Amino acid sequence: MRTLEININNTKPTQFNFGDTNIQIDEKNTIETQTVFDESSIKGWYKESNFEEFRIGHGNYSTTKNSRIVCNYSERVIELIFVLEGYSKVYFNKNNTPHLFTSNTHTIFHCKNDSTEIEFKDTKSHFLIIQLNTKFFKNLIPSEANFNDFKELINENKTGCISKENNAIHSAMKIVIEDIINSPWEGEYRKLFLHSKILELLLLQLDQYNSLKTKKESDISVTDTMKIKKAKEYLLKHYKEPITIQKLSKIVGTNEFTLKKGFKTLYGETIFCCVNNLKMTKAKKLLTDKNLSVTQVSEIIGYKNPQHFSTAFKKKFGFVPSKLKH
């Protein structure tokens, strides 16, 4: 199998030595590319939008076991990485100790002008990557001591992530990610919309990292951590169903107090907020993408009373769901 390589440059579209790439430039000189892969070891697609201040990459593909891709960075870059689905290992500077990426996790990554190697498990992968100029990012990162290690890594021009382990993508992040992927705006308004959403997503990342750094996961036992993560996985699949803290704690095998406290510590939100955000995100997508009534969407996401759904939707987004049907 030949080596699959990706060449990344801040000022040019990402180049692959495999796949079929189509490039388009709109009236605002925004470069849009889409690469379709149909190799023996990787199949799928990667879409990229290039703006002066940032770049957004969105990919979805399947790989065969132990497939490897080499990423060559020609310049320094900051990447906000969100793995929505998949499992991979990333080796920095030919280091033998990999950084693990698993489903529903995120990190902030700094790379100097060198290469990294990604090894995939036999799996499907779905991800969002946002690239920022290093100087732009350094002007935004907070002054708290919790960020000093990452600032030092950037200042010393070393490749690495803000943390040894990725953090969980919580429901507030999922809403913003969905907004970025499914942006309804075009032209200059699209750039303005995406710029605001990227800043919002970065804010959520930094706030979560700072909170978890202050109150470390080590405060929770390894066993309880596994049970709490199991609870999150259950909610992601069953959030439309009626569920109580008591029922959820029995499913994962812990008590209600440990579950509530641990969930807030690990994910930065309560179980109720998580479920509500998941429901509202799904509702917004259904109202936008499908020809469904407000009543139908209300039923799909588990509301018996459409009025209660409309109230919850307005509280979350600031407008009633019927507005999306006009």
Give the DSSP letter string of 53-71. SEEEEEEEEEE-TTEEEEE
In this predicted model, what pLDDT tens digit does every residue of 233-288 receive, in sequence order?
899 888 888 889 999 999 999 999 999 988 888 777 889 988 988 898 888 888 88
Handedness of CA 182, 185, 187, 190 (dihedral sign): negative
Q: What is the pLDDT of residue 57?
A: 97
Structure tokens at 95: 């280091």
Note the pLDDT of residue 12. Answer: 87
Q: List the beta strands (DSSP E) in the chain.
A: 4-9, 12-16, 20-25, 31-38, 42-50, 54-63, 67-73, 77-85, 88-92, 99-101, 105-111, 115-120, 124-132, 160-161, 167-168
- Predicted confidence at residue 204, as pLDDT, reads 95
218-325 falls under which CATH superfamily? Homeodomain-like (1.10.10.60)
pLDDT at residue 326, rounded to an integer: 62
Q: Which CATH architecture has domain 4-214?
A: Sandwich (2.60)
Q: Which pLDDT band holds residue 290 (cuts at 50, 70, 90)?
A: low
Contact 238, 193 (CB under 8 A): no
What is the rounded average pLDDT of the residues 74-82?
94
Top pLDDT among 52 and 124 is at: 124
Please state the φ and ψ torsions of residue 160, each to the nearest 5 degrees: 170, 175
Q: What is the pTM of this model?
A: 0.71
pLDDT at position 7 is 92
Q: What is the pLDDT averaged over residues 50-68? A: 90
Q: Is 238 exposed, middle or buried (0-12, 13-18, 19+ CB in 10 A)?
A: middle
One-letter amino acid for residue 322 of the chain: S
The whole-number average pLDDT for the span 119-146 is 90
Please check the confidence at residue 2 and state whether its pLDDT lies above 70: no
pLDDT at 3: 79
Q: What is the mean pLDDT of residues 141-160?
A: 90
* Mean pLDDT value of segment 176-180: 94
Taking residues 137-152, report their average pLDDT: 90
Domain residue spans of the chain: 4-214, 218-325
Neighbours of 52 (CB within 10 A): 10
- Report the range of poorest mean pLDDT among 151-155, 182-186, 198-202: 182-186
Residue 61: what pLDDT? Answer: 93
